[in-house]
A and B are shown apart, each in its own frame.
Chain A
Amino acid sequence: MSLKVRDLRVYYRTLAGDVKALDGADFELADGEITGLVGESGSGKSTLGKSLIKLDGRMRYVSGTVELDGAELPVRDSARMNDFRFREVSLIPQYAMSAMNPTRKVGRMIADLLESRGERFRALRPELVRRLELVGLGEQVLGRYPIELSGGMKQRTVMVLSTLLDPSLLIADEVTSALDVSNQRAVAETLAGFRDRGFVKSMIFVTHDVALVNQIADTITVMYAGRLAEKGPAKTVVNSPRHPYTRMLISALPEVGVSHGERRLSGIPGSPPALLDPPAGCRFRDRCPLAFDKCEQEPPFAEVEPDHSVACWKA
């Protein structure tokens, strides 16, 4: 087992009170597993990703433990996490592409970053170039400014850099959202290739796009309002989802070949609860067509069959 997360809770401090953005996550990743993390905007996907790397000033660790390759990952202690970040756990943040410093050449920027981590750029350069070539970029990108690269090229550069030290866990947060279909496919296949080559052991691929992640993921994890709703093998979650939210989410996806004249898809009525003061019990209750009185208690995230867990009283 490469990653083991138990009851992880991380809130945001605000003037109005704590925003319970990650409120009890329990899951595991096997060696070599890519999980697609999906869910509505605001469900806590990025918060989960950040919690495994670095809590920013407004995030408050509340409870839980994380184990990576059998050793405790000190997620609550930002200073101790320094030894793990980038080497053992690496994150490609949402909007990484637009965060590149426009006045620095790509090579210079990479050198700065590596050196700030106590690594020697010169020693790593041959491997860096080899991997850039692997993703279809030549050594010459190192001499370019970010503005001279297309979105897809920038994204591939960031991916190579984040995995250069062969971290055990990679968290890729919405790395394909800003790209067009051909680049989306190239980037997703590249990441899966990194796993196949052993550059990373396991991966959390955060996205809105279930159809895309289903192309490369072994498992799919669904979040709803700060909690995990379902996690199982990708095929099972797509073909026979057990959580009512997952079912509605999957059936709301337009596919090539589907036109509204022939088959009108329906959305999910209502909106998710505020996380500042979420209602007790199942957080999907307001929108759930199957809700009954028991749903006033919180359903446990429990295994319904091997490797398939669901948080729903009706599953």
Chain B
Amino acid sequence: MLKLDRVSKVYRVGSFGGEQLRAVGDVSFEVRPGQVVSLIGESGSGKSTIGKMVLRTSRITSGTISFDGADISRYRRTGELKEYYRRVQGVFQDPFSSYNPVFKADRVFEMIRTEYFAAVPAAEWRAKLDAALRTVRLDPAQVLGKYPHQLSGGQLQRLLIARALLLDIELLVADEIISMLDASTRIDVLNLLADLKERGLGILFITHDLSLGNYVSDQTVILRGGSVVERGATRRVFANPLHPYTRRLLSSVPQLHKTWAEVDAELRARDAGAERRCAYHERLPDGGPDPLAAVDEDHHVACFALDGAPCPDAARTPVG
């Protein structure tokens, strides 16, 4: 459904835009219907930039993003873009910033109505709205007609998801939608995403929290400095992380029933004796055009050397 093929983004920064910042480099992955793909990485790793390119609010520098086979950067006429947004929507980190405090919260639905459902009679619209609210487990009587400050962060976030659902979307870009919420509300929103996925929705789930990503996703993409270091079935990436960066990230995740020291010791024990060679160059001694090598079915890894350092396991430093 959604396919990123060697997508890069370069920002111009500095006083006169004289410097270039490569926020995303050579990223490829896919989201299929009914699949949750989590995009995991530290702050500044390029997660939101990828989300914005998918939503067409940020231009792609090179590579292509296609939706059902069509290159999304080709949409020119407003009708085409409007049709794209009927099928693809985004929800972002801070629910409060999507609302204007002087207007009632349900004003966010009115905009969708005038844009897409102008011809729909009032009663039918109301029924549609009620159904969308119930899907996100909100009681219409409790949330409609309220001002943003009268609702909790979790309620506001769910209203935004309901708004996306009104459009019968096929793909949802969810950028850190959970991090503002507290533990007890988080799990509700996560379960909601899991239910939507069961109904066939594809979700690009952006987060820096690995346990949240692990809970909902089928596929995991680990980003570092704009590039994918490891990608594949969530089960494989979490059970058998190969890239040193993925391993470091996983060992920092606080676990309820294990201390960091215990996790470190386990990792050391697992690695004892075995010299860890670069899995990428083990497969492709001479490198190749693709920055990732397949190490298993549905499990891909990048070269272990980071930040452009030469890889000791490379037979020849790849050109370019």
Contact = CB atoms under 8 A, between A and B. Distances in A.
Nearest to A209: B254
Contact of A256 (B42, B185, B188, B255): B255
Interface residues of B, number: 37
B260 A180 contact: no
B183 A249 contact: yes
Contact of B211 (A182, A183, A258, A268): A258
Interface stretch (A19-27, A70-78, A121-129, A210-218): A210-218
Contacts of B248: 182
Interface string B4-38: 00000000000000000000000000000000000
Contacts of B152: 41, 271
Contacts of A239: 257
A265 interface: yes
B182 A238 contact: no
A308 to B, nearest CB: 18
B119 to A, nearest CB: 37
Contacts of B182: 40-41, 208
A249 B184 contact: yes
A179 to B, nearest CB: 8
B319 interface: no
A49 B190 CA distance: 31
Contacts of B255: 211, 255-256
Interface string A187-226: 0110000000000000000001111101100000000000
A73 B43 CA distance: 40
Contacts of A265: 187, 190-191, 215
A254 B260 contact: no
Given A208-B182, A267-B185, A180 B42 contact: yes
A150 B42 CA distance: 12
B96 to A, nearest CB: 12
Contacts of B165: none
Interface string B276-299: 000000000000000000000000
Contacts of A214: 254, 256
A299 interface: no
Interface in B227-270: 234-235, 238, 248-250, 252-257, 259-260
Interface string A155-188: 0000000000000000000000001111111001
Nearest to B45: A180
B211 A267 contact: no
A258 B252 contact: no
A208 B183 contact: yes
B194 interface: yes
Interface string B168-211: 00000000000001111111101100100000000000001111
B214 A182 contact: no
Contacts of A215: 254, 259-260
A238 B42 CA distance: 28
A275 B181 CA distance: 20
B216 interface: yes
A41 B181 CA distance: 8
Contacts of A254: 186-187, 190, 211-212, 214-215
Contact of B208 (A181, A189, A209, A249): A181
A154 to B, nearest CB: 12
Given A264-B191, A268-B184, A181 B209 contact: yes
A41 to B, nearest CB: 5
A266 B43 CA distance: 29
26 contacts: A150-B43, A180-B42, A180-B43, A180-B208, A181-B42, A181-B210, A181-B252, A182-B249, A185-B252, A185-B260, A188-B254, A209-B183, A239-B257, A249-B184, A250-B256, A252-B186, A252-B187, A254-B190, A254-B211, A255-B257, A256-B255, A258-B214, A265-B190, A266-B191, A267-B186, A267-B187
Interface of A: 40-41, 150-151, 179-185, 188-189, 208-212, 214-215, 238-239, 248-250, 252-260, 264-268, 271
- Top 9 nearest A-B pairs by Cβ distance? A254-B215, A180-B42, A211-B254, A267-B188, A212-B254, A185-B252, A268-B184, A181-B252, A267-B187
